[in-house]
Amino acid sequence: MRKFLNFSLVFLAVILFTNCDEDESLDLSKIESKVEAKFTSDKQTVFVGTSVQFTNQTVYGNIYQWTFEGGEPATSKEKDPQVTYAELGEYQVSLKITNEYGENTNIQEAYIKVTDDAGWTNFQFPNIHFTNKTINGNGSLYAELIPNEQEFIKKVCLQVCVELFKSADEVNTVTDITYTVDDSETLSAKGGTPPHINISFSSSYLMQKKNEGLTDEQLIKEIEGVLVHEITHGYQYEPQGAGNYAQGTDFFGFIEGIADYVRYVEGFTPTSKRSTGGNWNDGYNTSAFFIDWLHSKDNYFAYKLNQSAKTINPWSWESAIKKILGDDASLTELWSEYQGDLVSGKITQIDAELKEMRENREDVDYPSDSGEVIDITDKDCTVSRDMSADSPENESVEKLIDNNIATKYLIFKNNTWVRFDCDKAAVLKAYTLTSGNDAPGRDPKNWKLLGSNDGETWAEIDSRSGESFTSRKETRQFEFENTSAYKSFKFEFENTEGDIFQLSEVELFNGIPEEEETEEEEGEVDITEKLISVAVQAEDFDFFDWGLPEFAYDNDPGSSFFNMNNNTWFVFETEKKYNVNRLSISATANLFGIEFVFTPDEFTLLGSNDGQNWTEITTVAETGIIAFEEKKEFAFENSEYYKFHKITMSAEIEEGDNKRIMIGEMELFGTAE
């Protein structure tokens, strides 16, 4: 009988066999004779006019003498001074400390950098570990709406950080996000702490909203709004000494208030959600709209509120208000004033002023995770159309920039225009057009691309005539010379057949995108290196960070997939059809000093071309893998080609056994059709 060794025993053994240092007597004279100046600061890269809080970390200093090159004040004898820098440059900071045993000076060259570059072009995107557990059920709707979940999640990360921080250097580090779509009763939740956080989203909730009549655009906005809230939890600071996460506490009001504030200013919460009454500690919309109103007292209130969580200990709303707005500021009086503005209607004027303030903020130079060349229609651009003719609701002009060539824009007119208005000017170098799914006569034949900065005066950027598309949903790229930056772009299209115009997608690039090289596959390949989607069974189980599903096919036998159940399955989707006739399974390394290998005892491989109807390819009743790091290959007859391959695995459970499944690596080998 094989038995599962409880992991807690392993950890206990580690503790028991850990050596402890022997106690040493404290030599006070050694401490007293060591005079060493030490200091830190809350930031080292700042904008002009920004204050830096220095913290003296010297233990036995009595007299402090600070010198701040380029700072105001230039010198200080305070223990923990605050210094403001007024001009660009890199500046030295020095601290001299003195006590009865001597003196010591710590000089840090170029310690403070004052810049006008927020550094967002160097923003470090986290690694995204995405799993859709219900891809064959409610999760299919999510997959349809969000075809590129990696870029979608990364885009939200940047949006959130731009609202929370002034520069990329200040960002609270998040290196990994595990995002799971499942049928949870909870709409969404964030778990873990930076640098690795976990986010879940309910696919059944999404389906419920669809059944309530929400359009695809509204559903995508719902997904993004929820994600903005949860991502904010990952990046925001947590207030020190403010108690626990409990409704009505300072901690709760801060955490949920800031998350809903970011969701509001990013455009996912209407002001109709704002109401009178409540308390600043209620969190969510109540605290969020109060935080927004406080920007009428300080333009950077939310930024400073988040920063205060790092510098105030113990933190409270009252102490944060006084630090940001001055010692005379009263939290209760501000709340009363805010309530009065809601009742009187003055809040409408304040809303307009705050909107103008945000619009006048410096534009963000957004980076691209895949290089400097980006499609600017993905960066806060709106699209509008010629309104002189009708367009079907399900084929609206917004379909042109939804990153989905399966949808299209159609208008009952053959000569028409489409306009893109962006928040930031860009120098276009190329664009792509993708033809519709049917009716070649509706494709554009001739067109001009125009640019403008006022929406009235237009300059020609590029023009084409006599163009055609050789197939449906074909993407063609057009390049041209251009050195002028514009915020608005307009296509004037002409097609010379029929009375209808259509197009699936438009992309506008600030450079020349590199064309993807397509390789003709020859011979056998591991199809787990050709995947476009993966689904995995994991009911009622959250994976450990070290046992994620993708570790089963990451080409690293040193990593491990771990499932707490004795049966599981994977569905692998590829763009091409493959004839698979061989697979291998490797046992994990002995990572935890456990006694037994938990590889599957048996498996079945199935194939499908629609992801719904499955045909058995082979079944192996006994894998025979009994040793750590052991790898076995299984060959079988198969003459069919499939886009979907499903492998179901199980492990026998004997009486009293707690069988699990662990895999170091899994490979499926086949040839393309």
Which range has the worst mean pLDDT, 6-15, 288-297, 322-331? 6-15
496 with 533, same domain: the answer is: no
The confidence band for 36, taking pLDDT boundaries of 50, 70 and 90, is confident
Is residue 251 in some structural domain? yes
16 in any annotated domain? no
Nearest-CA neighbor of 538 among 136, 127, 131, 140? 131
Mean pLDDT across the stretch 605-609?
Answer: 94
Cα 65 to Cα 56: distance, rounded to the nearest angstrom: 11
- Which token pair is 535? 């689904």
Give the residue with greater pLDDT, 123 vs 92.
Answer: 92
Domain boundary among 94, 115, 136: 115
Domain boundary among 115, 132, 157: 115
Q: What is the pLDDT of residues 187-221, one digit of tens each?
A: 999 999 899 999 999 999 999 999 999 999 999 99
Query: Is residue 523 a contact partner of residue 532, using CB atoms and an 8 Å limit?
Result: no
Residue 46 counted as domain residue: yes
Residue 5 lies in a domain: no
| Mean per-residue pLDDT of the chain | 85
Note whether 420 and 442 are same-domain residues: yes
- Number of neighbouring beta carbons within 10 Å of residue 320: 25
* Mean pLDDT, range 527-551, rounded to an integer: 75
Percentage of the chain surpassing pLDDT 70?
Answer: 88
Range of the domain at 153: 122-359
**Domain contains 492:** yes
8: pLDDT strictly greater than 50 = no
Q: What is the CATH number of the domain that holds 107?
A: 2.60.40.10
Per-residue pLDDT at 368: 44
Cα distance between residue 119 and residue 123, in whole Å: 7
Asked if the structure places residue 447 within a domain, the reply is: yes
Which residues have a Cβ under 8 Å from the Cβ of 517 and sit 6 or more positions away?
A: none
Rg value, the chain, Cα? 30
Question: If you average pLDDT over residues 35-53, what whole number do you get?
Answer: 83
pLDDT tens, residue by residue, 357-393: 887 665 554 444 434 578 888 877 899 999 999 999 8
CATH number, domain with residue 192: 1.10.390
**What's the length of the chain?**
673
Residues 237, 216 share a domain: yes
Tell me which residue has tokens 């923990």. 80
Q: Is the pLDDT of residue 309 over 60?
A: yes
Same domain for 108 and 141:
no
Report the alpha-carbon distance of residue 445 to residue 466 in Å, rounded.
Answer: 5
pLDDT in tens, 314-342: 999 999 999 999 999 999 999 999 999 99
Structure tokens at 643: 């886009």
Which of these ranges, 10-24, 219-233, 623-637, has the smallest mean pLDDT?
10-24
**Residues 627-640: what's their mean pLDDT?**
89
> Is residue 28 in some structural domain?
no
Q: Are residues 497 and 530 in the same domain?
A: no
**389 plus 339 within the same structural domain:** no
Identify whether the C-beta of residue 39 lies closer than 8 Å to the C-beta of residue 105: no
Q: Is the pLDDT reported for residue 302 higher than 70? A: yes
Cα separations (Å) of 356 from 28, 265, 361, 435, 602?
Answer: 61, 12, 9, 39, 64
Residues 241 and 337 occupy one common structural domain: yes
Asked if residue 325 and residue 469 are part of one domain, the reply reads no
The confidence score (pLDDT) of residue 535 equals 85
How far is 254 from 277, CA to CA, in rounded Å?
18
Confidence of residue 531 (pLDDT cuts 50, 70, 90): confident
178 pLDDT higher than 60:
yes
Residue 519 has pLDDT above 60, yes or no: no
Residue 26, pLDDT score: 40
Q: What is the mean pLDDT of residues 271-288?
A: 94
Please say whether the beta carbons of 5 and 11 come within 8 A.
Answer: no
Same domain, residue pair 56 and 183: no
Single out the residue in 324, 359, 394 at which a domain terminates. Answer: 359
CATH number for position 486: 2.60.120.260
Q: Do 343 and 203 lie in a common domain?
A: yes
Pair (315, 437) in one structural domain = no
Whether residue 29 is contained in a domain is answered as no
Q: What is the pLDDT of residue 20?
A: 40
Same domain? For 308 and 332 the reply is yes
Looking at the structure of the chain, the number of domains it has is: 4
pLDDT (0 to 100) of residue 522? 59
pLDDT tens digits, residue range 422-471?
877 788 889 999 998 778 889 999 999 999 988 888 999 999 999 988 87
